[in-house]
């Protein structure tokens, strides 16, 4: 982990409201594992604290982040031109751990795909990918990223399955009865909740990448906690004990 | 780098720069970047007699020049701290200041009593901004009488030097400072966060109320440090919005013997080592041999 200066190589829109940011770091970041994130100092414009983003990709000193514009920090970031200096602290947090025995299934909702893409890449086509979003616009997030066939659900039915991604997953899970599957997921709270509802009866192993507002990103402030089943210390830090958690250990 | 060590209650500290309570985890979290041995002393996260879970999220909110937090004093409790974390500071030969709190007078007293003198403990720091549940939630630190009372009772059960950490949300902080000192406080930490609210215009709601920290707090803290240092004879630790070495220098000149850095670490995780170096460089560049040469030299115009 280190705080590293870098410069924006490119920062372009890949779908309405979604951007891909590439930064050339001045020093190598160290070993990066799927699910880890960075705290990024958004350049200028009165953004006081850093913002957390999953490490979408990291290769040869170039860090890639995929982000959705939701508020002032990401708005400001989306305006930053090439060559803008930027600070990134990372890699941070606990990562997805993959066991060889299980058949991996990756379930992502919208920009949640940014959190699982590094894992998808590592699994090299061994995983089934389920992606859910609102409209066909967002399907562009998968473009180039997933060379093999992903299962896609759009809420408005403009691409793939019409409905939500958990309904789509349900259909496929029926076909996998008796097999050892394991699920890796990242997406909106409601998606994670309905996923949990779906797989609760089977207690399928599931790792989930959670998000919470952060101030420090490295376990210093206790600002980013999620409630867990641990009776003694229920609140765990998303930045330190997470962001990847065992779904069955957290209370949603 | 020049010598910026200080002596506090007979203990030699490497430098006068500490972290602010609650802003450097349990100390171990910063290890990947730099170690607690960099600090003059490590200030613990606020400890209570029993473990405390703290508040639900959201716990942090950003402002243009600061942040609001409502962590709610989550901590593992004083016993667990001394079992699990204190040995790490001893190993690292880093003295600590133990920040603690209670929701009742008894909890404050029990907590202070629990902590035994040790050569690696410089002082206790009692957080007087906590809501007193018996007094209907008004904080312990708001009325001179209440401050006098609780400081006196805590002082009676400990031999460790005692800092009283004051809240800025009072009519006259000098009155509170005097009350704490008359009750036996050996030093003051000024100041804690200021009560504030975050507002979400999109959702038309107040997502959290909590304590405001960061640069917005600095002028308030500086005034408190300056006025109290003129009014009481005990050492003052200045805290509130210190972001860089020049901020730090201004606190020393205003009358602080030592300083604490909180929110700055979230913005720049290397803020503390940078400030330590910056303070030493400033002394060197201006021909000062020690921190005391600039202590309290501020003039009123
Ligand atoms: C570990 C982790 C990894 C993340 N990875 C990515 C990623 O790869 N791509 C991406 O686009 N986003 C990611 N996020 C979410 C991203 O951090 C937020 O969208 C961003 O901080 C919002 O900043 P803002 O200033 O634009 O929004 P603000 O103006 O601060 O807030 C606008 C909205 O964003 C929400 N928000 C603020 N902070 C967070 C947060 N930390 N998590 C979720 N929602 C938040 C607020 O509740 C609000 O609704 C990640 C978050 C975490 C914790
Ligand atoms: C996340 C957070 C947690 C804090 N926890 C405590 C605490 O446990 N006890 C305490 O006395 N002060 C606590 N404080 C207050 C700080 O110690 C300090 O007084 C305040 O933040 C002002 O300094 P700053 O502007 O440098 O952050 C906390 C502040 C923050 C931001
Ligand atoms: S963001 Fe500070 S502890 Fe997680």
Summarised one tens digit per residue, pLDDT across range B173-221 is 999 999 999 999 999 999 999 999 999 999 999 999 999 999 999 999 9
Q: Which residue has the tokens 């982040």?
A: A65
Band the pLDDT of A174: cuts 50, 70, 90: confident
Tell me if B232 CB under 6 Å of ligand 2. Answer: no
User: Which of A5-9, B128-132, B194-198 has the lowest average pLDDT?
Assistant: B128-132
Ligand nearest to the CA of B69: 2
Average pLDDT over residues B19-31: 98
pLDDT of residue A44: 81
Asked if the Cβ–Cβ distance from B69 to A220 is below 8 Å, we say no
pLDDT of residue B36: 98
Q: Phi then psi for A184, rounded to 5 degrees?
A: -120, 130
Query: What is the sign, positive or negative, of the torsion defined by CA atoms of B19, B25, B30, B31?
Result: positive
Is residue B177 within 8 Å of B25, Cβ to Cβ?
no
Residues 6+ apart with CB under 8 A from A21: A8, A10, A11, A64, A65, A66, A67, A77
Average pLDDT over residues B144-154: 97
pLDDT at B24 over 90: yes
Catalytic residue ranges of B? 130
**CB-nearest partner of A222 from B51, B66, B71:** B71
Residue B49: HSE in the Cβ half-sphere, 13 Å Cα cutoff: 13
pLDDT at A146 over 80: no
pLDDT digit string, tens, across residues B268-277: 999 999 999 9
Average pLDDT over residues A217-222: 98
Tell me if B255 CB under 6 Å of ligand 2. Answer: no
Give residue ranges with CB within 6 A of ligand 3. A 214-217, 219-224, 237, 239
pLDDT of residue A147: 66
pLDDT of residue B301: 59
Q: Is A85 touching B (CB cutoff 8 A)? A: no
A123 C-alpha to center of ligand 3: Å? 29
Band the pLDDT of B112: cuts 50, 70, 90: very high
Tell me if A18 CB under 6 Å of ligand 1. Answer: no
pLDDT at B237 over 80: yes
pLDDT digit string, tens, across residues A67-95: 999 999 999 999 999 999 999 999 999 99
pLDDT of residue B1: 61
Asked if the Cβ–Cβ distance from A3 to B33 is below 8 Å, we say yes
Asked if the Cβ–Cβ distance from A233 to B62 is below 8 Å, we say no
Is residue A76 within 8 Å of A43, Cβ to Cβ?
yes
**CB-nearest partner of A219 from B25, B56, B74:** B25
Average pLDDT over residues A4-33: 96
Tell me if A46 CB under 6 Å of ligand 1. Answer: no
Band the pLDDT of A161: cuts 50, 70, 90: very high
User: Which of A9-18, B99-108, B133-142 has the lowest average pLDDT?
Assistant: B133-142
pLDDT at B2 over 80: no
Ligand 1 atom at minimal distance to the Cα of residue A77: 26
A152 C-alpha to center of ligand 2: Å? 46
Tell me if B210 CB under 6 Å of ligand 2. Answer: no
Give ∠ CA A147-A183-A223 in degrees, rounded to 5: 105
A61 C-alpha to center of ligand 1: Å? 24
Average pLDDT over residues B12-37: 98
pLDDT at B296 over 80: yes
Give the H or E element holding residue B265.
Answer: helix B264-267
* Peptide bond preceding B35 in cis form (omega within 30 of 0): no
Q: Over chain A, what is the mean pLDDT?
A: 94
Is residue B217 within 8 Å of A51, Cβ to Cβ?
no
Chain A interface, best mutation among B32, B68, B269, by max A CB count within 10 A:
B269
Query: What is the sign, positive or negative, of the torsion defined by CA atoms of A212, B27, B185, B103?
Result: positive
Distance CA A204, CA A124 (A): 22
Distance CA B24, CA B44 (A): 8
Q: Which of B62, B36, B106 is nearest to B207 (CA)?
A: B62
> What ipTM does the predicted assembly reach?
0.96
Percent of chain B whose pLDDT exceeds 70: 99
- Nearest chain B alpha carbon to A2: B33
CB-CB neighbors (< 8 A) of A47 in chain B? 62
pLDDT at A230 over 90: yes
Give the H or E element holding residue B253.
Answer: helix B245-254
Tell me if B45 CB under 6 Å of ligand 2. Answer: yes
pLDDT at A3 over 90: yes
**CB-nearest partner of A223 from B59, B65, B214:** B59
Q: State how far the alpha carbon of B140 is from the alpha carbons of B49, B156, B192, B209, B277, in Å.
A: 17, 17, 13, 19, 37
Tell me if A70 CB under 6 Å of ligand 1. Answer: yes
CB-CB neighbors (< 8 A) of B265 in chain A? 216, 220
B239 is written with which tokens? 């805290």
pLDDT of residue A61: 94
Ramachandran class of B142: left when φ > 0, alpha when ψ lies in -120 to 50, beta otherwise: alpha
Mutate to test the pocket of ligand 1, among A93, A114, A211, A215 (most ligand atoms within 8 A of CB): A211
CB-CB neighbors (< 8 A) of A94 in chain B? none
Is residue A119 within 8 Å of A96, Cβ to Cβ?
yes
Distance CA B296, CA B299 (A): 8
Ligand 1 atom at minimal distance to the Cα of residue A70: 26
Is residue A221 within 8 Å of A145, Cβ to Cβ?
no
């Amino acid at each position: 982990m280190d705080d590293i200066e870098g410069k924006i190589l490119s920062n372009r829109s890949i779908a309405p409201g979604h951007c891909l940011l590439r930064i050339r770091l001045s020093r190598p970041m160290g070993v990066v594992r799927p699910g880890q994130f960075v705290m990024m100092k958004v350049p200028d414009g009165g953004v006081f604290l850093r913002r957390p983003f999953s490490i979408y990709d990291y290769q040869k000193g170039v860090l890639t982040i995929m982000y959705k514009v939701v508020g002032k920090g990401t708005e400001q970031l989306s305006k930053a031109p090439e060559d803008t200096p930027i600070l990134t602290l990372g890699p941070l947090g606990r990562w997805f751990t993959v066991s060889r025995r299980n058949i991996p299934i990756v379930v992502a909702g919208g920009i949640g795909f940014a959190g699982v893409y590094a894992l998808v890449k590592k699994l090299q086509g061994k995983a089934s990918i389920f992606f859910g979003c609102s409209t066909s616009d967002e399907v562009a997030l998968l473009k180039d990223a997933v060379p093999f066939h992903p299962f896609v659900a759009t809420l408005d039915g403009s691409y793939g399955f019409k409905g939500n991604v958990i309904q789509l997953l349900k259909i496929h899970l029926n076909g996998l009865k008796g097999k050892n599957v394991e699920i890796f997921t990242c997406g909106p709270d409601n998606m994670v909740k309905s996923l949990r509802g779906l797989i609760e009866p089977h207690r399928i192993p599931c790792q989930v990448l959670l998000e919470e507002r952060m101030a420090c990103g490295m376990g210093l402030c206790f600002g980013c906690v999620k409630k867990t089943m641990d009776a003694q210390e229920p609140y765990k830090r998303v930045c330190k004990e997470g962001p990847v958690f065992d779904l069955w250990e957290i209370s949603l | 780098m020049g010598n910026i060590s200080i002596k506090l209650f007979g203990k030699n500290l490497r430098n006068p720069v500490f972290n602010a309570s609650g802003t450097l985890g349990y100390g171990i979290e910063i290890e990947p970047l730099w170690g607690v041995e960099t600090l003059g002393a490590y200030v613990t996260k606020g400890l209570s007699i029993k473990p405390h879970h703290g508040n639900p999220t959201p716990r942090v909110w950003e402002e243009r020049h600061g942040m609001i937090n409502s962590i709610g004093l989550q901590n593992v409790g004083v016993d667990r701290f001394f079992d699990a974390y204190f040995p790490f500071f001893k190993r690292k030969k880093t003295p600590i200041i133990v920040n603690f709190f209670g929701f009742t007078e008894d909890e404050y007293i029990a907590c202070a009593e629990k902590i035994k003198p040790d050569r690696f403990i410089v002082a206790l720091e009692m957080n007087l901004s906590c809501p007193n549940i018996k007094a209907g939630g008004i904080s312990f630190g708001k009325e001179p009488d209440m401050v006098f009372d609780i400081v006196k009772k805590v002082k009676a059960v400990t031999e460790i030097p005692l800092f009283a950490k004051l809240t800025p949300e009072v009519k006259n902080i000098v009155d509170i400072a005097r009350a704490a000192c008359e009750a036996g406080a050996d030093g003051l930490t000024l100041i804690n966060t200021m009560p504030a609210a975050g507002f979400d215009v999109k959702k038309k709601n107040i997502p959290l109320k909590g304590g405001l920290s960061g640069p917005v707090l600095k002028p308030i803290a500086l005034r408190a440090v300056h006025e109290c240092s003129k009014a009481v004879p005990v050492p003052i630790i200045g805290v509130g919005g210190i972001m860089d070495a020049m901020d730090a220098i201004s606190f020393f000149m205003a009358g602080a013997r030592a300083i604490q850095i909180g929110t700055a670490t979230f913005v720049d995780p290397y803020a503390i080592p940078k400030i330590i170096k910056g303070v030493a460089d400033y002394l060197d560049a201006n021909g000062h041999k020690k921190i005391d040469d600039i202590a309290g030299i501020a003039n009123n115009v």
